[in-house]
Amino acid sequence: MTGLGGLNKSPDGVGIGLVQLENPNVKTPADLKKQTEKVCELIGKARRNQPTMDLVVFPEYCLHGLSMDTNPEIMCHIDGPEVQAFQQACIDNDIWGCFSIMEYNPEGNPYNTGLIIDNKGEIKLNYRKLHPWVPVEPWAPGDLGIPVCEGPNGSTLALIICHDGMFPEMARECAYKGADIMIRTAGYTAPIKHSWNITNQTNAFCNLMYTASVCLCGSDGTFDSMGEGTFVNFDGVPMVKGSNRPDEIITSELKPKLVEEARKYWGVENNIYQLGHRGYVAVEGGANDCPYTYMKDLVEEKYRLPWEDEVVHK
C-alpha cells in the first residue's frame, strides 16, 4: 500500500518524495549558486505537489554533477551558503530534506557528504560516504560511520550513498542501529540499472526495512544518469518505480509501524534477528557465535582475499 503515492496519508505514515534531479554540469562558483537555487526551487515544487509530503530526497551529486571535479572553489562546507539555503528552504516549506554535497576536507580529498535536515532547519544526520566508487570517484572514504536519526512521524532514518548499497553490510548496519527506512541516493548511470534494482530489493528484504532510493536523471552532455526512483517494501517487493524523466518526483507513503510489527512477529525470514540466533529451533536462544571468517579478519585488520595478489585495480 502506498496511499496512492502518499495522497491518502495515514496519521502514522511517512510521505516521501524522491526527486529524479536532472544531471547538472557545474564548473564554477556561479554554476554552483545557480544549481543550489534550482534545488531549493524543487523543494518548493515538492511541497506544492503534495501537501502531505514529510520528506523530499535529492540524489547524490545534486549540486555538483558527475564531473568528479575537486576544485576547492566549488567544494561546500557544512556551515556554508549552500547548506544554509537548504535549511531555509526546509523551514519555508515546512518539510524535511535529504541533500548531497561535496564537502571540503582540509586534510585531503573532499568527502562525499549526505545531509538530512528537518522542517525546522536543523541538521539531523550528517553522513560521509564510506565506499566511494573506486576506481572512478576521488572522494576520501567516510569517517563518521553510519549514523541514524529520528525522522518524521516516529520513523528512524538512515542514509547511504550510491555504491554503499552494493555492500550488504551497509544496509545491515543501518537496520542494526534501528533504521526502518533506509535512503539511498546515487548518481549511477544506465549500466548499473540491474544491480541497482536487485540490491534495493535485497537490502529491504534481508533487513525488514523500507528502502527509498533515487539517482540523478538525464544527461550533462557526457554522462547519462538513469533516474530509477524506487520504493521497496520491507518484504522486498517494489512499491513504486520511477521513469527516466528528469525532475520527476516519485512519491509513496511508508509505514514504520508495519516494519516494527514484522520485526517483532515474523518467524520465517526474520533474517536480521536470526543472523545472531542461529538454529534456535534446535538450540535454546540459538547460537550467537560469529562463524564468518571475513568478519573476524576485518575486525582484526587482516582482511585478505585468496586472489588478492591478482587484483589489477588497487
Residue 275 to residue 289: CA distance in whole angstroms: 10
Element (H, E) at 124: strand 123-128
Q: Name the active-site residue from 60, 82, 173, 228.
A: 60
Using DSSP's 3-state secondary structure scheme, residue 53 falls into coil
Q: What residues are paired with 280 via a beta bridge? A: none
Q: How far is CA 148 from the centre of its chain?
A: 11
Cell of residue 180, nine digits: 526502518
- Check if 290 is active-site: no
Check: CB of residue 140 under 8 Å from CB of residue 131. Answer: no
Burial classification of residue 196, based on how many CB atoms lie within 10 Å of its CB (0-12 exposed, 13-18 middle, 19 or more buried): buried
Residue 88 to residue 124: CA distance in whole angstroms: 14
- Check if 40 is active-site: no
Half-sphere exposure of 65 (CA within 13 A, CB side): 21
Cβ count within 10 A of residue 113: 24
Cell of residue 126, nine digits: 550528517
Q: Name the active-site residue from 22, 103, 129, 228.
A: 129
Q: Name the active-site residue from 40, 98, 162, 217.
A: 162
- Check if 41 is active-site: no
Residue 14 to residue 212: CA distance in whole angstroms: 12
What is the identity of the amino acid at 11?
P
Helices (H), ranges, 136-192: 168-176
Point out the residues that are catalytic.
60, 129, 162
